[in-house]
Every structure is written in structure tokens, then in C-alpha cells.
Homo-oligomer: A and B are copies of this chain.
Amino acid sequence: MFLQNCWYVAAWEHELKETPLLARTIIGQPVVLYKAANGTPVAMADRCCHRLAPLSRGRLEGDNVRCMYHGLLYAPDGACIEIPGQKAIPRIARVKTFAVAARNKLIWIWMGDAVSADRSLIPDTYALDHPDWRYRPGYVRFGADYRYILDNLLDFSHLSYVHAATLGGSDLIAKAKAEVEPFEDGVRIRRLTLNSPQPPFAKPFLADGTNVDRWHHYEIRVPGIMSMDSGIQATGTGVPEGVRNNALEFRAYNLVTPETERTSHYFFALAHNFAIDDPSTTEKLHAEVSKAFAEDEAMIEAQQRAIDETPDLQMVVIPADTALVQMRRILEAKLARERSTADAV
């Protein structure tokens, strides 16, 4: 079961420049995405209404899409406007469309009823389009239920183990206590890791040998939108008191969109505000964080296979699970609300 009435990331904006008709399955529904001539994104069901051929195999003609099986032509509002060889076009000849919006280099989609798609609810990702910040847009496809990806993001103790050689570098992250605060749409988490060895991914950007303090302050909101303020600073220069002093600062976005029950899209960016005139810094950080997400992918897919192979095994809940238990509760409540609204209709 997936939430319908919320904004999902459908694509990075640059993907629509590279692929005229982008096929993407979102919460189990096949969608074709493209940009109209004026730059507005368009999203419609990736199925010709006639014989169900994918429109993503079609041809963009101006702002319209032609199915390349038997030639039906669709306008951006989903209406069929031409059937070769016949004059009358039945009213039912149309495909479903979805509300979409471009915002900060991302294309967002609302899979539920388009009239309820409130653009003011699109989550804030300001650092993705801001002169002070640099990043490379990232993407991985996970062979796992999106909820296991959220679980992973909700408990950073895994940095000490899964990411020992990249983002972690010490078991102190796992030992640090996280503060967890639920809110209506998700969970806020604050974690300070003090006086720790330098994490491998940041060593090139830190003075030799000094221990560091780290902060990971983030929120994750349904359906799977994580935005984080994180950083690293020499120990003793003020992190516990909240003073930023020659820190390496990051804004990270980890944006999870379910593809199917067992696969997920994972859009990510690690934005930095230091060395912003040095593209190689951006490249190096992107390479490191990509390596880390490949580590997550391997672990989460192994976990998914494990669960599928032995579905009757119970999980033992431990205190580190506080945030994920809260998040699951919020998600379930929202799903239940959508179901009861649907039943009422």
C-alpha cells in the first residue's frame, strides 16, 4: 500500500532534457514524463488507451505525444486529439494525467487526485538551487521495499558498521544517543558524535590527525523525504554548544520514491558550501556518498531477500528503533486515513 495524496520525486529535472519521453513507474503506476516547449513538465499514464502500448515508446510532436503503435495522438491534458484514418474521436479516448511541478531541479508528482495537489506542500530543498551550495544530482535504484530504506535513514547507528570505510570510521556514531521528536508528517532527529576519529570520506578536507565533532540533524517526512543539516568540525571548537567554527557543512537530501512493492527510486544530493569554486571537491564528495549508498543498497537488498526467504521471523525491537517505530506509526495512520476516505467515496 502506498500513499497517493502526497508529493513524490519523479525525476531530476536534467533527466527530462536527456530523454524526451521518460518512462518511470511510481508507486506501481507506469508514468511517462516530458517537458512542454515552454518548460512545463507533463506526466501521464504510460499506456495508450487503445491497445495499452507504452506512450514512452512514442514520439513527442510539439507538446503532444503520438503512440507509435497505431498513431493515436495525445495532448498534454491526456485527451486523444487524432486517430489516423478516422474523424470521430470517442470521448473515452484519453489517458490519465498527474499533477507535476518543477522545483529546485527536481520534478515532483502527485499520484492522487490532481485537484487536491497543493503545490505549497512540496517539501523544501532550497540548497539544490542556491548560489552558496554545490552538489551533483545522484540516483540509485534499490531492489527493496521503500520502508526498509526509510528504516535505514532513521537509524544512523548503521554509519558505524555499513559505512565503516566511508561515512562512518568509528563506532562512536552508534554509541551516540539520538534525540527523536515526532511531528505530524514525520520525525526530527538530532545526533551529536563528539571527539571521534575523522570519517574516511571527509579526510581530504580536514587538517591531519585532529579528532572531530559531528552533527547529523535531520527530518524525514512521509512519504520518504529526508533533509539534513550535517557537519564536521575540530573537537573543542564549539559543536556541543552549537557554534560553527571552520566547519565542513552539508545539506543532504535523500528522497525515496517507491517504484513497486519491492523496488524503489532513491534520489540523493550531498550539497556543500565550502570550496564551491572547486568542482573537484563536488566530484569527490559525490563519489564518496555514491559509494556509501552502494553499501546501503547491498545491505538493504540482502535484508529484503532475507525477509522474503524467511517471512515468519519476528524482529526484536531495541531502543535504537525509536525513530523508525514512530515513522511507521505516522505512515500507517496516513494510509488508514486515505483508505477510509476512499471507502467513504
Question: Inside 8 A of A84's CB, which chain B residues have their CB?
Answer: 157, 160, 171, 174-175
Given contacts A71-B174, A306-B54, contact A319 B162 (CB under 8 A): no
Number of interface residues of A (CB under 8 A): 52
Contacts of A83 in B (CB 8 A): 318, 320
Q: A85-B320, A93-B318 are in contact. Are A52 and B307 (CB under 8 A)?
A: yes
Residues of B within 8 A of A160 (CB): 71, 84
Within 8 A of B (CB), among A151-165: 151, 155, 157-158, 160-162, 164
Does the CB pair B302–A86 fall under 8 Å? no
- In the complex, A19 Cα to B20 Cα: how many Å? 46
Given that A151-B51, A318-B93 are known contacts, is A70 also in contact with B158, CB under 8 Å in the complex?
yes
Cα–Cα distance between A171 and B158 once the two chains are bound (Å): 59
Q: A30 at interface (Cβ–Cβ under 8 A)?
A: yes
Does A313 reach chain B (CB closer than 8 Å)? yes
Q: Is A69 in contact with chain B by the CB < 8 A criterion?
A: yes
Whether a CB of chain B sits under 8 angstroms from the CB of A310 is yes
Is A234 in the interface zone, CB < 8 Å from B?
A: no
Are B177 and A313 in contact (CB-based, < 8 A)?
no
User: Distance in Å from the Cβ of A49 to the closest Cβ of chain B?
Assistant: 4
Would you call A85 and B175 a contact (CB within 8 A)?
yes
User: Which residues does chain B contribute within 8 Å of A307, judged by CB atoms?
Assistant: 52
**Across the interface, do A171 and B30 meet the contact criterion of CB distance under 8 Å?**
no
Contact check, B85 vs A157: say whether CB atoms are below 8 A apart: yes
Taking a contact as CB atoms under 8 Å apart, the answer to whether A57 and B302 are in contact is: yes
The verdict on A90 contacting chain B, using a C-beta distance below 8 Å, is: yes
Residues of B within 8 A of A325 (CB): none
| Residues A68 and B161 in contact in the complex (CB < 8 Å), given A171-B84, A299-B53, A302-B53 | yes
- 4 closest Cβ pairs, A-B complex: A84-B174, A68-B161, A49-B316, A85-B175
Please name 15 further chain A to chain B contacts, defined as beta carbons within 8 Å, in addition to the given A68-B162, A85-B157, A93-B318, sorted by A numbering: A29-B310, A49-B315, A50-B318, A51-B151, A52-B307, A52-B313, A57-B298, A69-B158, A69-B299, A70-B155, A70-B157, A70-B174, A70-B320, A85-B174, A85-B319
